[in-house]
Amino acid sequence: MQKNESYAGKVAFVTGAGSGIGRATALAFARVGASVAVADIGEQGNQETARLIEQEGGRTLAVRCDVTGGDNVKAALAKTVETFG
């Protein structure tokens, strides 16, 4: 897959990114040029997904996030905006 110019300069916030479909989605966004915030309740999986994105030359941020709590999501989004603009 080649980088798509329409994703350059864009930011993706992917929940459940620590494994499975979430990880695959995060990697797909990174491969087409998006900066990716990987959000998951599991820190180990989150860090692994971020490492895979960085290994492929992508920009990423791993944020621990329990999406069942609104304050957690707000904090994760704020950190994403702070990092990527």
Identify the residue whose tokens are 């990716």: 36
pLDDT digits (tens, 9 = 90+) for 9-25: 999 999 999 999 999 99
- Domains in the chain: ranges and CATH: 5-73 (3.40.50.720)
pTM assigned to the model: 0.90
Q: Rounded to an integer, what distance in angstroms lies between the CA atom of residue 33 and that of residue 75? A: 24
Which residue, 65, 60, 10, 77, is CA-closest to 39? 65
Beta carbons within 10 angstroms of residue 1's beta carbon = 6
DSSP 30-75: HHTT-EEEEEES-HHHHHHHHHHHHHTT--EEEEE--TTSHHHHHH
pLDDT digits (tens, 9 = 90+) for 36-83: 999 999 999 999 999 999 999 999 999 999 999 889 999 999 999 999
